């Protein structure tokens, strides 16, 4: 397909925006769990003091006085505290220019930062190319950001923050209400089906084996996809998630990145499977049904 000049310009602009947003997502991925841990620590210690289980003086909690959110403090090297200057913070290019090291203490910077920026740029560009200058593109860009953030937070901490899963869910409901996706009735049935299906699997598995195979965040994430897709495509989604799970686990074990017995959280597979289903469900359904 030949790109018209206008669509090309739009795709390029959105892709460039994606690189910048990807840089912000790196901050989100790092800081949201830290913000949650700070909040939990504060709440837990307040509770213990209020109930009289411990005295305030006996409780030593790490210093939490300074503001810490998605905006402050400025990004700094975790080793030498070197403040990242604006020209050291240009997506992908700065990483290449700094040769992947802190400009001050030469500590290596994780390759994940430029990769998240690259991924976000590609996803943004593709969304713009595929859906054009439409409201749906806007909704899908926000959803993609949430999914990228959730994927890496879950890999790091085995945690899917409510603030992100619920936002994805509400976004799906609003997109349906605005007439951009599926009828509202289907969105609501999809939400319930998504939540309850994994909830049942979780309890079934727990009663049988006494182990927890996944967490409540996974149910909420599948509920969010139900709001976007309705219940039927969720079957394709689970298939895609399981398939990518098997492929990635085998690859990681074969390359010894993952040791035997170690587990990967289910959230990233749901996010990847869901994203693929959302963007390519027609192709996937045709593919699954092809032999019949």
Question: Which parts of this chain interact with Zn ion (CB under 5 A)?
Answer: 77, 79-80, 82, 102, 104-105, 107
Beta carbon nearer to Zn ion, 77 or 278? 77
Beta carbon nearer to Zn ion, 100 or 213? 100
Structure tokens at 272: 């990847």
Structure tokens at 26: 């790196």
Alpha helices in 84-134 (DSSP H): 93-97, 112-131
- Please give the biggest Cα pair distance in the chain: 71
Beta carbon nearer to Zn ion, 82 or 158? 82
Per-position DSSP letters for 234-248, written without gaps between them: HHHHHHHHHHHHHHH
- In angstroms, the first-to-last Cα distance of the chain is 30
Beta carbon nearer to Zn ion, 41 or 83? 83
Minimum CB separation of residue 110 from Zn ion in Å reads 13
CA 269 to centroid of chain Cα atoms: 10
Block residue for tokens 């800081």: 31
Looking at residue 291, what DSSP letter applies?
Answer: T
Across-strand partners of 108? 101
Minimum CB separation of residue 289 from Zn ion in Å reads 55
Taking the C-alpha atoms of residue 178 and residue 182, their distance in angstroms, rounded to an integer, is 10
Beta carbon nearer to Zn ion, 61 or 80? 80
Minimum CB separation of residue 72 from Zn ion in Å reads 20
Minimum CB separation of residue 71 from Zn ion in Å reads 22
Beta carbon nearer to Zn ion, 114 or 230? 114
SS3 163: helix
Minimum CB separation of residue 88 from Zn ion in Å reads 11
C-alpha distances in Å from residue 21, one per residue of 25, 27, 122, 137, 272: 6, 10, 12, 15, 19
Structure tokens at 116: 């998240």
Minimum CB separation of residue 167 from Zn ion in Å reads 33
Minimum CB separation of residue 77 from Zn ion in Å reads 3
Beta carbon nearer to Zn ion, 105 or 250? 105
Residues 6+ apart with CB under 8 A from 44: none
């Amino acid at each position: 397909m030949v790109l018209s000049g206008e669509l090309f310009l739009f795709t390029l602009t959105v892709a460039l925006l994606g690189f910048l947003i990807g840089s912000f997502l790196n901050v989100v991925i790092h800081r949201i769990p830290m913000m949650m841990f700070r909040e939990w620590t504060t709440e837990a210690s307040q509770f213990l003091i209020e109930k009289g289980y411990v005295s305030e003086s006996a409780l030593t909690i790490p210093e939490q006085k300074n503001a810490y959110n998605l905006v402050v403090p400025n990004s700094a090297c975790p080793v030498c505290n070197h403040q990242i200057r604006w020209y050291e913070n240009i997506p992908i290019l700065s990483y290449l220019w700094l040769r992947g090291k802190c400009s001050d203490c030469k500590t290596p910077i994780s390759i994940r930062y430029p990769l998240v920026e690259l991924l976000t740029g590609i996803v943004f560009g593709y969304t713009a190319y595929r859906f054009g200058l439409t409201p749906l593109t806007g909704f899908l860009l926000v959803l993609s950001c949430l999914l990228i953030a959730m994927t890496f937070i879950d890999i790091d901490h085995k945690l899917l923050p409510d603030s992100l899963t619920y936002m994805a869910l509400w976004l799906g409901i609003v997109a349906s209400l605005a007439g951009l996706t599926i009828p509202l009735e289907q969105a609501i049935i999809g939400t319930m089906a998504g939540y309850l299906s994994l909830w049942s699997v979780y309890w079934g598995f727990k009663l049988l084996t006494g182990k927890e195979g996944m967490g409540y965040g996974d149910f909420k994430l599948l509920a969010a996809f139900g709001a976007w897709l309705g219940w039927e495509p969720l079957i394709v989604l689970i298939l895609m998630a399981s398939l990518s799970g098997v492929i990635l686990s085998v690859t990681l074990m074969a390359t010894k990145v993952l040791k035997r017995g170690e587990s990967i959280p289910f959230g990233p597979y749901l996010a990847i499977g869901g994203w693929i289903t959302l963007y390519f469900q027609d192709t996937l359904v045709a593919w699954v049904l092809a032999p019949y």
